[in-house]
């Protein structure tokens, strides 16, 4: 994928989460069942770096669960971060405005804070355009993790839903063509509080396996969850080699 296209897709999503951040947050008032399954398996003392923390619902859930480890959430959407600050007392939580596509540039600041036992990225990687940029983020995550650390992420499997398939739009609506983007890239519309467009990549398990191998992770677990059919997201736990 050429750099101008990468920049166009990044800006498309940035604009969406700026214009529709508040409306989007209203649809994210609870964690997904797959995330709940992961949290139930935590020890409770993990130092957790949350990439794409959104409105802070994960941190609020951890606080209610009595999580004792430190939490740092990163996101580029100021409307979502404004809501993230409403975290109950009882958890050491902090939020920062960070563009995850530039994560490697600030990794030194994050590693100086602490050695992270767990990094999460729920519904995040599918918004990152291009293989090169995804690998840059994943290699940075690998560096940030403590020995034996875990990276747990989920990716939207919207093509499993006939309803969501109807949200797919032509690339011309974003000023692009099919030839500009990669296989598995889609443009989806948003219909709440106005009409918006988002870039989303639909990952296959083979693709995720290749990314894990290239960034020196070992896949420890894969499962599907969320939605009526429990197949709207694929979750994976990767272990640092």
Q: Does residue 186 sit within a domain?
A: no
**Number of domains, the chain:** 1
Is 10 contained in some domain? no
- Could you tell me if residue 47 is inside a domain? yes
User: Residue 95: inside a domain, yes or no?
Assistant: yes
Q: Give 36's DSSP letter.
A: H
Tell me how many degrees the CA angle 111-200-7 measures, rounded to the nearest 5: 65
Which of 75-89, 113-127, 212-226 holds the top average pLDDT?
212-226
Which residues on adjacent β-strands are paired with residue 95? 73
| CATH code at position 65 | 3.40.50.150
Identify whether 234 is part of a domain: yes
Q: What is the pLDDT of residues 136-182, one digit of tens each?
A: 999 999 999 998 899 999 999 999 999 999 999 999 999 999 999 99
Structural domain includes residue 113? yes
Instruction: Summarize pLDDT for 189-206 with one digit per residue, the tens.
Output: 988 777 889 999 999 999
Using a cut of 0.85, tell me whether the model's pTM lies above it.
Answer: yes
pLDDT digits (tens, 9 = 90+) for 5-19: 999 999 999 998 888
Range of the domain at 124: 20-157+202-240
> Sheet of 217-225: strands edge to edge?
93-97, 71-75, 48-51, 116-122, 145-156, 233-240, 217-225
Q: pLDDT category, 224, cuts 50, 70, 90?
A: very high
167 falls within a domain:
no
Within a domain: residue 178? no
């Amino acid at each position: 994928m050429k750099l101008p296209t990468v920049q166009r897709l990044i800006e498309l999503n940035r604009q969406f989460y700026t214009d529709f951040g508040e409306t989007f947050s209203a649809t994210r008032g609870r964690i997904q069942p797959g995330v709940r399954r992961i949290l139930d398996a935590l020890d409770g003392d993990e130092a957790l770096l949350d990439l794409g923390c959104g409105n802070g619902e994960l941190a609020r859930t951890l606080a209610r669960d009595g999580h004792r480890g430190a939490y740092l959430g990163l996101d580029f959407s100021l409307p979502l971060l404004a809501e993230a600050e409403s975290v109950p007392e009882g958890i050491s939580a902090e939020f920062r405005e960070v563009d995850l596509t530039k994560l490697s540039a600030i990794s030194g600041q994050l590693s100086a804070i602490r050695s992270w036992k767990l990094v999460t990225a729920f519904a995040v990687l599918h918004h990152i355009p291009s293989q090169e940029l995804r690998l840059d983020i994943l290699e940075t995550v690998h560096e940030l993790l403590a020995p034996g650390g875990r990276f747990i992420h989920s990716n939207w499997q919207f093509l499993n839903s006939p309803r969501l398939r109807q949200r797919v739009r032509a690339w011309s609506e974003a000023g692009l063509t099919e030839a500009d983007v990669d296989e598995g890239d889609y443009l989806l519309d948003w219909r709440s509080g106005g009409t918006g467009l988002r870039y989303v990549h639909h990952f296959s398990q083979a693709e995720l396996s290749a990314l894990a191998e290239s960034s020196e992770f070992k896949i420890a677990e894969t499962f599907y969850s969320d939605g009526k059919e429990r197949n709207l997201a694929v979750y994976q736990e990767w272990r640092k080699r």
